Amino acid sequence: MATPTKPINLGLLFGGRSCEHEISVTSARSILRAINRHKYNISLLGIDKAGQWHLADNFDSLLSDGAVQPAAAGKLPRGGGGVEPVTLALHPNGNLRTLRDSPPLPHHQLPQLEVIFPALHGTFGEDGALQGVLEMAGIPYVGCGVAASAVAMDKLLAKKIFQLAGIPQAAYIGLSASQWQHTGARAALMARGEAELGYPMFVKPANLGSSVGISKVRAPAQLKNAIELALRFDHKILLEQAMENCVEAECAVLGNAMLGAQQQHRPQASVVGEIIPHAEFYDYAAKYLDDQSELVVPANIPRAAAAQVRELSLAAFQEIDGAGLARVDFFVSRASGRVTLNEINTMPGFTPISMYPRLWAASGVPYAELIDRLIELAVQTQRAKAALQRSV
Ligand SMILES: Nc1ncnc2c1ncn2[C@@H]1O[C@H](COP(=O)(O)OP(=O)(O)O)[C@@H](O)[C@H]1O
Ligand SMILES: [Mg+2]
């Protein structure tokens, strides 16, 4: 009889400070529902909107109105069935500690985490900041590292890196708040945008997600407002040529780009899917508020275009030195089949109906297995990094 392997202490992190807090809660709920409880001892770690971490043994006790709420949060079972709230900090080697203002808890009641699944999207989740904390704590974690996360989150940095790699992208111009501050320079900046990009044009904050702060600008009179809206969300923004009459195609990557990764851990690209937004473009409402946008798998694009999407997805993942997962988004011209990279997301939505897991399900990797593979990749990445550190 095979000896049962010891369950892994897994911290499932969710919520967080970004505007994608609620989406993260939904992703985490789906992971919890599907994960193999024989393989993992799960600690639920909810991060509230103020950034405080809370631990619970029960998902719903952390939540109120779909968000992590401090008042209801952090209930840990104690002797006699009572519960007390705890607020946490993460220390090296996966040790959790209660903060000073929490009631003291016996150390053995706090789990020592062996791996973390940060099911967090957007700022302070997907942008490298949390990944830095986890690196400092020395805990393996699912997904891309500090640099890959930060670059993927910053549309301007990502554009520059992909440009160097020769990956086709929409023409763009970067613009900073300090450039815009010079009121005398504004007319020239806008004229340059018009001359180089034309209308329609997209205006976006560099560091955000979920289409927040993004405008499609159709005429000169709208440009100034669109720039000022985007600058409310970030100190640097992009003006981008609109890719008209295109299919929005998406591809999922799974694996580690790290040089020397074993064969079974090398990045793989899924089948290609298609988004049909129920709006002029895939804006916040189309993404999350109405459920009429359609995800179609496989995408209705020519075979050669799909092959190119997969190839460019792997190239983009390799360029940012990705680890674990990423969803790579493209525009495919209906007229010419030409493929243009839009962006790479290092922690895409993770419910079973989200594109990333759906693409893997359609490629033969069901949801629960996908979770296992991601956790295995996290452990493998950490091992490879530790081996490198030892050899220094
Ligand atoms: N250059 C573009 N041409 C056409 N549509 C675009 C362009 N840029 C963005 N969009 C539309 O806006 C949506 C959101 O833009 P995106 O750059 O993907 O930002 P986010 O990180 O918020 O998802 C896209 O899914 C697409 O529908
Ligand atoms: Mg997008």
Tell me the CATH architecture of domain 152-168+244-390: 2-Layer Sandwich (3.30)
Give the C-alpha separation, 212 to 209, whole Å.
Answer: 6
Q: For ligand 1, say whether the CB of 233 is within 6 Å of any of its atoms.
A: no
Q: For ligand 1, say whether the CB of 242 is within 6 Å of any of its atoms.
A: yes
Whole-model pTM? 0.91
Task: Please say if the pLDDT value at position 298 is more than 60.
Answer: yes
- From the CA of 244, give the closest atom in ligand 1: 4
- From the CA of 345, give the closest atom in ligand 1: 21
For 114-163, what is each residue's pLDDT tens digit?
A: 999 999 998 888 999 999 988 888 889 999 999 999 999 999 999 999 99
Residue 180 has what pLDDT? 94
List all residues 6 or more positions away from 360 whose beta carbon is below 8 Å from its beta carbon. Answer: 252, 254, 270, 366, 367, 370
CATH 3.30.470.20 residue ranges of the chain are: 152-168+244-390
Q: Which helix (H) or strand (E) holds 249?
A: strand 246-256
- 378 touches 141 (CB < 8 A): yes
Q: For ligand 1, say whether the CB of 214 is within 6 Å of any of its atoms.
A: yes
- Express as a percent the part of the chain with pLDDT over 90: 60
Ligand 1 atom 6: the closest Cα is on which residue? 242
The top-level CATH class assigned to 8-141 is: alpha beta
Q: For ligand 1, say whether the CB of 282 is within 6 Å of any of its atoms.
A: yes
What DSSP state is assigned to residue 255? E
Pairing type for strands 115-118 and 8-15 reads parallel
Least confident of 2-16, 94-108, 290-304, 340-354: 94-108
Ligand 1 atom 8: the closest Cα is on which residue? 202
- 218 touches 321 (CB < 8 A): no
For 50-64, what is each residue's pLDDT tens digit?
A: 888 888 777 887 788
Pairing type for strands 87-91 and 172-176 reads unpaired
Q: How confident is the model at residue 84 (pLDDT cuts 50, 70, 90)?
A: very low
Q: Mean of the pLDDT values across residues 90-110?
A: 60
Ligand 1 geometric centre to CA of 357 (Å): 21
Ligand 1 geometric centre to CA of 16 (Å): 24
> Over the chain, what is the mean pLDDT?
87
Ligand 1 atom 19: the closest Cα is on which residue? 211
CATH 3.40.50.20 residue ranges of the chain are: 8-141
In sequence order, what DSSP letters do the residues of 323-373 get, joined into one string? EEEEEEEEEEETTT--EEEEEEESS---STTSHHHHHHHHTT--HHHHHHH
Task: Please say if the pLDDT value at position 212 is more than 90.
Answer: no
Angle between helices 146-153 and 155-164 in degrees, nearest 10: 100
Q: How confident is the model at residue 78 (pLDDT cuts 50, 70, 90)?
A: very low
Task: Please say if the pLDDT value at position 335 is more than 60.
Answer: yes
List all residues 6 or more positions away from 340 whose beta carbon is below 8 Å from its beta carbon. Answer: 168, 169, 170, 243, 246, 330, 331, 332, 333
Residue 260 has what pLDDT? 65
Closest to 384 measured CA to CA, from 297, 316, 332, 321 = 321
- Express as a percent the part of the chain with pLDDT over 70: 86
Residue 82 has what pLDDT? 35
Tell me the CATH architecture of domain 172-241: 2-Layer Sandwich (3.30)
Give the C-alpha separation, 376 to 356, whole Å.
Answer: 18
